[in-house]
Structure 1
Amino acid sequence: MGYNIPEHLKGLTEQEVKRSQELSGYNQMDGLHKSNWLEMLLDILKEPMLILLFAISIIYLIVGDYGEATFMLVAIALVSAISFYQDNRSKKALEALEKLNEPLSTVIRHGKVIQIPTHEVAVGDLCVTEEGQMINADGKIVHSNDFSVNESSLTGESMSIFKNVDSDDKNLYSGTVTVSGLAVFKVDKIGKETRIGKIGSSIANIQEEASPLQLQITKFVKTMAIAGIAIFVMVCTVNYYQSRNLLDSLLNGLTLAMSILPEEIPVAFTTFMALGSWKLMQQGIIIKRSSIVETLGSTTVICTDKTGTITENSMQLKYLYDYQTDHTYDSSSFNSPSIDRLVSYAMWSSEPIPFDPMEKTLHQVYQNTQKQDLRKTYSLFHEYPLEGKPPMMTHLFENKNQERIIAAKGAPEAILQVSRLTDAAKDKVRTLIAELGKQGYRILGVAKSTFEGYKFPVKQQDFEFEFLGLVVFYDPPKAGISEVFQQIYDAGIQVKVITGDNADTTRSIASQAGIQHTEKVIGGKEIMDYSDQDMEQVAENNVLFTRMFPEAKLAVVNALKRKGEVVAMLGDGVNDGPALKAAHIGVAMGDKGTEIAKAAASLVLTNDDLSKLITGIAAGRRIYSNIKKAIQYIISIHIPIILTVSLPLFLGWVFPQIFTPVHVIFLELVMGPTCSIVYENEPMEKNTMKVPPRLMTDTFLNWKELGISIVQGIVITIGVLLAYQITVQHGGTEEKTRAMVFTTLIFANILLSLVNRSFYYSIFQTMKYRNNLLTGVTIITLAMLFSILFFKPFSDFFAVTSLTMFELALALGIGAVSVLWFEVYKFVKRKK
C-alpha cells in the first residue's frame, strides 16, 4: 500500500484477532437492532388492511360462512406474503447499502498492511491512520510521522493537535480526524467502550428525518384513513337502519372501509426508495439514506470541486521555473543541476509520507533526479500546517549534525508575499504565473529560509524567505467530461465550480471541460465580506469560485440553499467536509475521496465518475415520476371500488351489495403488486432528462394532478355503474350483474395501468417500454378473472355467473371507453 511502516511493527496474528474478538467483541455500537423475519411478519400483521381482514373473517365464522372465512384467511396469507416479499426486498437492499457504507480501516497484521471493515478492528490491533481519515477506535500512538489530529468532535476545540510517541498525551480517540501526516496506534478500546461510545451510544440510534415526500404521503394516507372510518360508521348506520342486521351492517361497513384504505401507498414508497437505492448501488452509486433518491431528482445546482472531479487528479509535473536562472524547464530537463535546489526544496516542503498527488509527484521527481537522496538522514522536527488565505505550508528538517532545511510551498501569491523580492521582480513572476494559469496549469511557489535557535515565529509568514521558483503541474480534464456537463445543462441544472485553485487555471480547465459562463470569477476572500443578501446574488450569478477555503465553500452552499436551490456538492478533500454536510446532497469520490468527505457525504461515486451523478439524478427523477404514477393509479382505481360498494346501497338500487369483501380483496390483491412492483420497474420516459427539475416545495400531487386522478376514477365509476344498469335493464340476475360489474372493473383496471404509464406519451409509445413484470401481472390477472367467470367452484364462491362473448365484449368496450378517453387528453396536451 506504499506505507513507510517500521519493520518491528508486526501487529496481531489471526489467532490473536479471534481471541481478542471473543474477549472484547466487535468494534460496533450495541443496541443497533435488526429485525428478523418473525418481527417483520408481526409488523405486517399489525397493518390496518390485515386487521380489517381478520375482523371480516371472524364475522364470517360467526354467521357460519366457512367458505368466505377460509378465503379471507387465504387472502390474509397472500397479502402478508406480498408485503413480506416487498419488505424483505427493501431490507436486503438497505442491508447491502449499509455494508457498502461501512468505512474500511487500515491495520497491520502478520507484518502486512491490510484494509478490513471497521467493525472487525480488534483490541490489540495496530491501526494506521493518515491525512483525511477518521480514527475508528481508541488507542495509543506507537509510531508517527508529522502527525496532527482534530479532536473537535470530543472537545469542541477546532485547532489541530500535534501528537507523537513522546507526547504527554499520545492517546487517539474514535471519531476524531487525522489532519496531517501518518500515525500507527495500538487499539485499547473499541465500540461502546470508546470515549465517544460512552458519551452516547444513543447517537447510533438517531433516526433519519422523514423526507418532504414521506411526510406528504403519510398525511394523505391518514386523511384517507379518517375518511374511511367516517364512511364505515355511516354505512353501518344506514345498513342497520334498513336491515336491522348488525353483522351484515358491520360486513358492509368493513367492505367499504377496506376499499377506501390506500395501504398500498406507503408500501410503494418504501419499495421504490429501497430498490432505487439498491439499483444505483449496482451501478457504482452508494446511497447513504434511501430517501436521498427522492431529493436527487430535484437537484437544481451542482457545485463541483475541480481537482479530481472535473480533472483526472493525475498532477503531472509539467514545468519548473527557476528564479535564479530565470529559466523555465520542461520535463526533459528536470535532471539539470541548475534546478537541483528548486527540486529539493519543493520536495522538502511536502509531507515526508505524501498523501496529496502533487506531493507524491515531487517526491518521485526528487528521487529520479537527485544524485544523493537525503530523506533518510533528515527528520522533520517542526512544521507549520497549510494555512493562510491564500495558503502556504512550511517544514523544518534537521540531521544529526543539526544542519537545517527550512522549506515552504503554497499558492504563488502567498509565497511572493513572504519572499524578499522587489515589487518589479514580483510583478515579473506574477506575469509568468498569469500566462501559465491561462493554459490551465496548477502552480505552486517554493521558498527557503534559515533560522537559528528554537524560538520559532508563531506564524510561518514571519520567517525571512528566499524565493526559489515555481513548480507547474497539469491536471487534464477527464475524458468525456464535456458531454457529462452538457447532459447536466440539458436537464435544466446549473453548474458552479468551487475550487482552491487560482482564477486563470480554473477558467482554463472549466472552459476545456465545457462549463458555460466562465467569464466572471470570484475569490474566497472577497466572498466573506458580503452580507447574506449580497452573498445570495453572488452565489446565484457566478459560476467560478476560486481560492476557496472551507468557510467560503460553506457560505456559497448555504446562500444557494437560501435562494431555494436544491444543491448537490461534489468534493473529495477534508476541506470539502462542511460543504458536503450542508448541501442537500453531498457527493464524495469513492476512490480518491478522503474518509472525512465520504463520512460527510450522503452519496458516494465508487469510481470517481461524474457521469454516475447524472445516472443518479435520472434515477431520482424516474423513481419520483413512477411513485406519482403509482399513487395516481391507486387513487383512480380506489374511487370506482368505493363508489361501486357504496352508491347502490345509498341509492337503494335493486342489488345493494354488489361487492362483498371477497371481491374487494381480490381487487386489492391485483392493485398491490401493480403499484408497488410493476410501476417500480417502469423505465425512464424519454423526455425525463430534458425538462427542468421539479421544485422541492411541490406537493407529490398538485391539485391539477389530483384532479386528473379523481376524474379518471369518476369516469371509470360511470362506466362500471353503466354496466350495472344495462345488465339490470336486460333482466340480469344479481350474479350476472355482479359478473358484469366485476369484469368491467378488472378490464378498466388493466387498461388504466397501461394508460397511466405516461401522462404525456400515448399508449402506443409506452407499449415499446420494456417491463416484463407489467406483462406478467396482466396475464395473471386475466387468467384469474376467467377462472372466476368460467370455473364453476370459483364462480359459485364469488357469486357470479359466466358471461357470453357479447357480454365480455361489452364489458371490455365499456372499460376501454371509461379509460382510453385519457389518450385524447394526452394527444391534445402533446399538440399544445
Structure 2
Amino acid sequence: MSYNIPDNLKGLSVAEVNASRAKYGWNQLSDNHKNTWFELLVDILKEPMLILLIIISMIYLFVGNYGEAVFMFVAIVAVTAISFYQDNRSKKALEELEKLNEPLSTVIRNGKVSEIPTHEIVVGDLCITEEGRIINADGRILHSNDFSVNESSLTGESFSVFKDSKSEDNLVYGGTVTVSGLAVFEVTEIGKETRVGKIGESIKNIKEEISPLQVQIQKFVKAMAIVGILIFLIVCLYSFIDSGNLVASLLNGLTLAMSVFPEEIPVAFTTFMALGAWKLMREGIIIKRSSIVETLGSTTVICTDKTGTITENSMQLKYLYNYATDSSYDQERFDEPDLRELIDYAMWSSEPVPFDPMEITLHKIYEKTQKQDLRKEYALFHEYPLDGKPPMMTHLFENTGKDRIIAAKGAPEAILSVSKLPDSEKDKIRAIVKSYGEQGFRLLGVGKAKFEGNNFPAKQQDFEFQFLGLTVFYDPPKKGIQEVFQDIYEAGIKVKVITGDNADTTKAIAAQAGIRILSPPINGSEIVNRSEAEIMAIAEQTTLFTRMFPDAKLAIVNALKNKGEVVAMLGDGVNDGPALKAAHIGVAMGNKGTEIAKSAAALIITNDDLQKLIIGIAAGRRIYANIKKAVQYIISIHIPIILTVSLPLFLGWVFPQIFSPVHVIFLELVMGPTCSIVYENEPIEKDTMKRPPRAMGDTFLSINELGISIVQGLIITIGILFVYQFTVQQGGTEEKTRAMVFATLIFANILLSYANRSFHYSILESFKNRNLLLVGISIAVLLFLAVILYVAPVAQFFAVTALSGYELGIALSVAAASVLWFEVYKLIGRIVRAKKD
C-alpha cells in the first residue's frame, strides 16, 4: 500500500537501527528462552520409560550380565534418539508457526516504507499505523490524518480518542488499537519499557488451557501408570516369594512395568498436533496453537462474513442513483454533469486516505469525473466515525476561506432516517434500494448538510441532511465458492452468514454462492433485548444475519456455543474481533483482514480462500482419526505383551520368564515409531469428509472402540499362548518356545498396524492409501527379526534359536488368524451400514 507521508520523515539508517538495538534491545516482553539440545535431552531422560531402562541396565551391570547391560544402554540411546527426533520435529514446526504468527509492523527507514517483524522495532523508528491495526510500541505522533485510537486495553474506556501531533496528549501506546485514519509516530519505548509491558509482565506466566483430548489422554496415561506400578509390586512380591531371588524378581517386575506403561501416547499426541499444524502452515493456513487442529475436525457450524469471504471484495461501482433527477446512471454515464454533486459528496464522506475498497473506488471515480480536484485545498477538521444501527459516518472539511463541506454516507436506511423527505419519497427510494438489493448489489446512501459555527451536535444524526442519492456497488461471489459450500454441507457442517449488509443483498449473494437458505433473514436490531433462550432459538433456525453490529455478532456466536455447536467464525474487520475471540475457532483473512481480526483469531487463511478452511477441517478430522488409530493400536498390542510376560509366571508354566526386558524393549522400539511416526503419516480415509462431525464432548475412545481394542489384544494373546503351548507340546526347548512366541508377536504387530489403518474399510482397500513409512518400518522390523533368529551371536543374546520355514509358517498363520478376524468384523459392519443407508 502506498502512503501519503511528508518528505521530511526519513526514519533511521541501518547504522542507527543497529546502534539503537545495541542500546535498548529487542521489542519483546520476554527473552523468549529457547530450549537447548541439552535441555531437550534432560527432559527426555526424565521420561518414565527411560528411567525404567536405566534402572534395568544398572541391575544387569550389578549382577554382571554385561551383554544385557550394553544392550540396555544401546536401547536407551535408541529410545532417546527417537524421542529427540520427534521432539525436535515438533519444536521446529512450532517455531515456524511462531514466526508466521508474529505481526508485521510498517516502518520508515532510509526514507522508504517497509514491513518488518514487530520484535525488530527499535527506539527512534518511525512507525506507521492505520485503521484496524494494533500499535506495537510506545511513541510520539509526528504526523496524522483523521487519526483516532482506542486505549481501552490500558484505560478501560471503550470510546476512541482523536489525537494528532499538536494535541496535548500526542502519545500512542503499544497494545492499543487504531480506530480510524493514519498516524506516523516516533518510537520512544519498546518491549518491557512500554506501558503495556510494565503492566502486563505477568501475562507470560499464564498457561494455555489444555484441550479436552489432552485431558482425556493424560487421564488414560496416568491410569495406566498406576496400573503399571501396582503390577510391578505384585509381580516382584509374587516372584520373590516363589523364587527367593530378589534380582530376578525385580527384573520380572520391571519387565512387566515396561510392557504396561503406554509412554508412546503423549509423544504421539504432541507429534500429531505439531506436525499437523506445520503441514497446514505449508497449505497457507496459519494456526496459532497446535491443539486447535483437534477442534477443527469437530466444527459443526461455520459463521462467515459476506464481503471478502464469500465475495471477491472488488466493490465495482455499477450504478449511481441521483435523487435530483430521479434517474439511475450506469458506468458509461458517470461523467454526466448531473452526477457531479453526488460523486463529490460520496468521496468527501470517505476517509481522506481510503482503506475500505468502496472508499478507494469512490476516490478513483472522483478523480476520473471531477474537472477540478479540491482534495488538497480542504482539510478534515471534524469527524463522526461509523456508528448507529444501521450505521453511517459524517466528515466535515474546511478550506482556508472557511468554506465547509459536510458529507455523510451509510446504509440507505440510515441516511433516509436523517433526511428531510416526505414519507412517500422515502418509500419510493426504499423500493429502489430493495430492487437493487434483490439483485445482489450493495448500496450506500449519500447526504449533505450545512452548519454554521463550531458548536457541533454530539450525534451526527442531529444534523439536517439533504438526501443526494445512492451509490450501487457489486461485489460478485468468488469463483468456485459454490463447490466450497457443497463440500461444507456434505461434511455435515451448517453455514450461517453474519454481515453488516442489508437483507436483500445478502440473500441474493448467498443464493448465488450456493448457501441453503431455509428461513427469512434476521437483522441485528431484532436481536437486541432478546432473552438468551430466544437468541439461541433464532441462532439455530436462521441462516442469514444482516445489519449485524459487534454485540449482535457476539450474541449469535455465544448462542450457538450454548447450543452445543462447535463454532468457526470467519471475519476480517475490526468489528469482527469480539466474535472471532469468542468462537471455538476464530478464522481471519490474511490478505484483507485487519490486524485486530488476525490478533483475535486462532487461525489465519493467508490467501483469503475459504477452500483452505475445508482443508483445515479435513486435516483436523484426519489427525483426530489417526490419533485414535495409534492409541487403539497401542492398547491392542500392549495387552498380549503384558499377558505373555505375566501369565506363564502366574500360571506356573514350564518357562515362566518367556520374555526378559531385552525382548520387551525391542517391541517398544518397534511400537514407538509405528504409532507416532507411521500413523501420523496416514492419509485421510476417502469418506471422512462425508461423515457428520464428531461431538466435541465425546469421550476420546468410546466403550465400543475401547472394547474392540481390548478384544483385538486378547485374541492376539490367545494366539500367542497357543503357539507357546503348541511348541512345548512338540518338545520345544525354552529357546525354541521363546523364538516362536516372539516371532508370532512380531508378525501380529505388523499385521495389526495394517488392519488398524481403517476400522471400516478392508485391509486391501487401505493399501490404496499410500504410506511408504509404514512399508519401510515393516520391512525393517522383518529384517531385524531375521537377524535376531538367524545371526548366531544375536540369537544367543536374545536367548532364541533359528526357526524352520514350517515353524515360521505356523507363527505367521497364527498371527494372521489372531489379527485378520477383524476383517470379517469390518465386513459385517459395512453390510449393516449399507442396509441402514
**Which TM bucket (shorter chain)?**
over 0.9
Corresponding residue number in structure 2 for 1:435: 435
User: Cα distance, 1:200 vs. partner?
Assistant: 2.2
Q: Partners in 2 of 1:474 and 1:38 — Cα distance?
A: 60
Corresponding residue number in structure 1 for 2:489: 489
- Any idea what the Cα deviations from partners look like across 1:754-775, whole Å, max 9, x if unmatched? 0000000000100111101001
What code does the residue aligned with 2:55 have? A
Q: What secondary structure is seen at the aligned counterpart in 1 of 2:704?
A: helix
Corresponding residue number in structure 2 for 1:362: 362
User: Cα distance, 1:518 vs. partner?
Assistant: 5.0
- Farther-moved stretch of structure 1 (194-203 vs 126-135): 194-203
Q: What secondary structure is seen at the aligned counterpart in 1 of 2:382?
A: strand
Corresponding residue number in structure 1 for 2:253: 253
Corresponding residue number in structure 2 for 1:155: 155
User: Cα distance, 1:31 vs. partner?
Assistant: 4.1
CA contact (8 A) 1:31 1:205 kept: no
Q: What secondary structure is seen at the aligned counterpart in 2 of 1:447?
A: strand
Q: What secondary structure is seen at the aligned counterpart in 1 of 2:421?
A: coil
Corresponding residue number in structure 2 for 1:19: 19
Matches within 5 A, 1:502-521: 502-517=502-517, 519-521=519-521
Task: Give yes or no for the alignment of 1:173 onto 2:198.
Answer: no
Corresponding residue number in structure 1 for 2:594: 594
Corresponding residue number in structure 2 for 1:288: 288
What code does the residue aligned with 1:585 have? I
Corresponding residue number in structure 2 for 1:757: 757
User: Cα distance, 1:517 vs. partner?
Assistant: 1.8
Task: Give yes or no for the alignment of 1:672 onto 2:672.
Answer: yes
Q: Partners in 1 of 2:67 and 2:202 — Cα distance?
A: 51
Matches within 5 A, 1:766-785: 766-785=766-785
Q: Partners in 2 of 1:801 and 1:206 — Cα distance?
A: 57
User: Cα distance, 1:521 vs. partner?
Assistant: 0.5
Task: Give yes or no for the alignment of 1:577 onto 2:577.
Answer: yes
Corresponding residue number in structure 1 for 2:319: 319
Corresponding residue number in structure 1 for 2:408: 408
Q: Partners in 1 of 2:111 and 2:341 — Cα distance?
A: 37
Corresponding residue number in structure 1 for 2:127: 127
What code does the residue aligned with 1:395 have? H
CA contact (8 A) 2:627 2:680 kept: yes
Q: Partners in 2 of 1:201 and 1:373 — Cα distance?
A: 50
TM-score norm. by structure 1 comes to 1.00
What code does the residue aligned with 2:717 have? T
- Any idea what the Cα deviations from partners look like across 1:415-463, whole Å, max 9, x if unmatched? 0000010000100000000000000001000000000000000100000
Q: What secondary structure is seen at the aligned counterpart in 2 of 1:136?
A: coil
Q: Partners in 1 of 2:6 and 2:679 — Cα distance?
A: 58
Matches within 5 A, 1:151-300: 151-300=151-300
CA contact (8 A) 1:221 1:262 kept: yes
User: Cα distance, 1:202 vs. partner?
Assistant: 2.3
Q: Partners in 2 of 1:631 and 1:33 — Cα distance?
A: 33
User: Cα distance, 1:519 vs. partner?
Assistant: 4.2
Q: Partners in 2 of 1:329 and 1:79 — Cα distance?
A: 75
Q: Partners in 2 of 1:361 and 1:439 — Cα distance?
A: 20
Q: What secondary structure is seen at the aligned counterpart in 1 of 2:746?
A: helix
Q: Partners in 1 of 2:819 and 2:458 — Cα distance?
A: 79
Matches within 5 A, 1:474-623: 474-517=474-517, 519-623=519-623
Corresponding residue number in structure 1 for 2:377: 377
Corresponding residue number in structure 2 for 1:684: 684
Q: Partners in 2 of 1:199 and 1:643 — Cα distance?
A: 58
CA contact (8 A) 1:32 1:204 kept: no
CA contact (8 A) 1:32 1:205 kept: no
CA contact (8 A) 2:308 2:592 kept: yes
Q: What secondary structure is seen at the aligned counterpart in 2 of 1:693?
A: coil
User: Cα distance, 1:206 vs. partner?
Assistant: 2.3
User: Cα distance, 1:545 vs. partner?
Assistant: 0.2
Corresponding residue number in structure 1 for 2:349: 349
- Any idea what the Cα deviations from partners look like across 1:304-326, whole Å, max 9, x if unmatched? 00000000000000111000011
Q: What secondary structure is seen at the aligned counterpart in 1 of 2:53?
A: helix
- Any idea what the Cα deviations from partners look like across 1:718-755, whole Å, max 9, x if unmatched? 00000000000011000000000000000000000000
What code does the residue aligned with 2:340 have? D
What code does the residue aligned with 1:531 have? S
Corresponding residue number in structure 1 for 2:634: 634
CA contact (8 A) 1:648 1:658 kept: yes
Q: Partners in 1 of 2:56 and 2:642 — Cα distance?
A: 17
Corresponding residue number in structure 2 for 1:824: 824
CA contact (8 A) 1:568 1:586 kept: yes
What code does the residue aligned with 2:436 have? L
Corresponding residue number in structure 1 for 2:835: none
CA contact (8 A) 1:490 1:691 kept: yes
- Any idea what the Cα deviations from partners look like across 1:460-515, whole Å, max 9, x if unmatched? 00001000000010000000000000000000000000000000000000000000
CA contact (8 A) 1:518 1:544 kept: no
What code does the residue aligned with 2:337 have? P
Corresponding residue number in structure 2 for 1:139: 139
Identical-pair percentage: 72
CA contact (8 A) 2:26 2:191 kept: yes
Corresponding residue number in structure 2 for 1:448: 448
CA contact (8 A) 1:744 1:811 kept: yes
Q: What secondary structure is seen at the aligned counterpart in 1 of 2:275?
A: helix
Q: What secondary structure is seen at the aligned counterpart in 1 of 2:139?
A: strand
Q: Partners in 1 of 2:604 and 2:390 — Cα distance?
A: 29
Corresponding residue number in structure 1 for 2:39: 39
Q: Partners in 2 of 1:613 and 1:247 — Cα distance?
A: 58
Q: Partners in 2 of 1:760 and 1:36 — Cα distance?
A: 44
User: Cα distance, 1:29 vs. partner?
Assistant: 1.4
Task: Give yes or no for the alignment of 1:725 onto 2:730.
Answer: no
Task: Give yes or no for the alignment of 1:328 onto 2:310.
Answer: no
What code does the residue aligned with 1:63 have? V
Q: What secondary structure is seen at the aligned counterpart in 2 of 1:828?
A: helix
| Alpha-carbon RMSD | 0.6
User: Cα distance, 1:340 vs. partner?
Assistant: 0.3
Q: Partners in 2 of 1:273 and 1:595 — Cα distance?
A: 26
CA contact (8 A) 2:303 2:498 kept: yes
CA contact (8 A) 1:511 1:518 kept: no
What code does the residue aligned with 2:479 have? A
CA contact (8 A) 1:394 1:407 kept: yes
Count of residues in correspondence between the two structures: 832
Q: What secondary structure is seen at the aligned counterpart in 2 of 1:683?
A: coil
Q: Partners in 1 of 2:48 and 2:666 — Cα distance?
A: 17
What code does the residue aligned with 1:377 have? E
Q: Partners in 2 of 1:442 and 1:87 — Cα distance?
A: 51
- Any idea what the Cα deviations from partners look like across 1:201-223, whole Å, max 9, x if unmatched? 22134221100000000000000
User: Cα distance, 1:166 vs. partner?
Assistant: 1.1
Corresponding residue number in structure 2 for 1:740: 740
CA contact (8 A) 2:519 2:541 kept: no
Corresponding residue number in structure 1 for 2:708: 708
CA contact (8 A) 1:510 1:518 kept: no
Corresponding residue number in structure 1 for 2:786: 786
Q: What secondary structure is seen at the aligned counterpart in 2 of 1:646?
A: helix
- Any idea what the Cα deviations from partners look like across 1:223-271, whole Å, max 9, x if unmatched? 0000000000000000000110111100100000000000000000000
CA contact (8 A) 1:236 1:252 kept: yes
- Any idea what the Cα deviations from partners look like across 1:158-211, whole Å, max 9, x if unmatched? 001111111111110000000000000000000111100001222134221100
What code does the residue aligned with 1:318 have? K
TM-score norm. by structure 2 comes to 0.99
- Any idea what the Cα deviations from partners look like across 1:532-566, whole Å, max 9, x if unmatched? 00110100000000000000000000000000000
Corresponding residue number in structure 2 for 1:117: 117
Corresponding residue number in structure 1 for 2:94: 94
CA contact (8 A) 1:59 1:247 kept: yes
User: Cα distance, 1:36 vs. partner?
Assistant: 1.3
Q: Partners in 2 of 1:514 and 1:208 — Cα distance?
A: 38
CA contact (8 A) 2:519 2:542 kept: no
Q: Partners in 2 of 1:207 and 1:108 — Cα distance?
A: 36
Q: Partners in 2 of 1:707 and 1:762 — Cα distance?
A: 20
Gaps of 5+ in 1: none
Q: Partners in 1 of 2:54 and 2:756 — Cα distance?
A: 33
Q: What secondary structure is seen at the aligned counterpart in 2 of 1:806?
A: helix
